[in-house]
Chains A and B, each alone.
Chain A
Amino acid sequence: MATTDAENHYAEGWGWGRWDWLYAEYMWVWVALAVLTLVEVFIPEPEIFAALFSAIPGISTVGPVESLIAYLDQLQFNRVFVVVSLIVLALVKTWLVAWYYMHLIAEKPAIILVACAPFVFATFLTVGIFPWQGAYL
């Protein structure tokens, strides 16, 4: 019988046979992706969360929550911080998907190198054609 990649990983001790661990690992990655998405939405527009809290009946009038809503309504992060943090968050989420869901964690180094190639290409391309003279964020 021909062996599949998954069976090879099991044989090499990649953890494919420990089902509970595998299950928990992927679910934690899922939770992390969901939370990071919320953070991504929060950073450029904190007022979305103010509107969200305001819409919950019975909570928006509670003292501390009311103060939090007022604070979030006024909160604005520095533009450079917004851009840099959003790029970092996107790269972290990308890494989580590639490393755990696309199984790079259990892959041969050659495949990992192949997977990294587009990021190198993207970096050179973006840096190369970015309008550095006079660009603004």
Chain B
Amino acid sequence: MAPKEASIMEGPGAGEESLGVTNGKIGMWTFLVMDAMTFAGLLAGYARLRWTPDSLWPFPIEAFGVIGIQLTAFNTFILICSSVAMVHVLAEQMRGNMDRAEKWLMATIAGGLIFLGIQAFEWTHLIIDKFHLLMDAGYNQNFPATFYLLTGFHGAHVAIGVIYNTILLMGMRSGKVTEEHTSTTEIAGLYWHFVDLVWILVFTFVYLI
């Protein structure tokens, strides 16, 4: 069997290597770079709209209220915890302790679901109680538009990450992802940490500044 075929046959952790890392990782980094540029475009557009003279843009902290910022700060903490849980998944897998890796992965997924739940609660609260008051007060309509676009786009990434991690968990449970397939987990982790990384920027620019 040719080496290339053998590598593909060995399972999800295997893969050809180029530039000294697996092609799977190169693929994920390429996707993340593209995705980061999309977020960069959205954030740059947000900055352009917000700081245009006479844009009538409310201060987010005043618009969301103190409780809103506290809740979102807590949500940020949840995502940070979920991110470190993902680190533990890989660490336990590399130790060969798949039971603990599965538990950490369940914690990672739970963190993502809690984040989405809190975001859904926040959106509902803002739609029903807040934003129509801001519009009545004459503030710029681009404020809620950019807010929902940025947080919604990120929320979609979290939802996809939860599905991705759930598939990984199913693979671990079925025995298809074993301690030898650390590359598979590492690539999933790259995506999940990227979601955390982007939220740090969205939280700062949309909620705090």
Contacts and interface: CB of A to CB of B under 8 A. Distances in A.
Interface of A: 1-2, 4-8, 16, 19, 22-23, 26-27, 29-30, 33-34, 37-38, 40-41, 43-45, 47-48, 51, 82-83, 86-87, 89-90, 93-94, 97-98, 101-103, 107-108, 110-111, 114-115, 117-118, 121-122, 125-126, 129-131, 133-137
B209 A4 contact: no
Given A2-B7, A94-B200, A102-B190, A131 B33 contact: no
Interface in B31-89: 32-33, 36-37, 39-41, 43-45, 47-48, 51-53, 61, 66, 69-70, 73, 76-77, 80-81, 83-84, 86-88
B180 interface: yes
Given A97-B197, A102-B194, A114-B33, 8 more contacts: A2-B14, A8-B20, A8-B21, A43-B208, A45-B61, A83-B209, A94-B201, A115-B32
Contacts, number: 166
B100 interface: no
Interface residues of B, number: 63
Nearest to A27: B84
Contact of A125 (B40, B183, B209): B40
A129 to B, nearest CB: 5
Contacts of A29: 84
B33 A118 contact: yes
Contacts of B19: 108, 110-111
Contacts of A47: 66
B174 interface: no
A131 B43 contact: no
Contacts of A87: 204, 209
A4 B180 contact: yes
Q: Among A33, A87, A98, which residue has the most Cβ atoms of chain B within 10 A?
A: A33
B123 interface: no
A107 B182 CA distance: 15
A6 B186 contact: yes
19 contacts: A1-B10, A2-B14, A4-B181, A5-B22, A37-B73, A41-B208, A44-B208, A48-B69, A86-B208, A87-B209, A90-B201, A94-B200, A108-B20, A110-B19, A111-B29, A118-B33, A118-B36, A130-B47, A131-B53
Nearest to B13: A4
Contacts of A114: 29-30, 33
Contacts of A108: 19-21
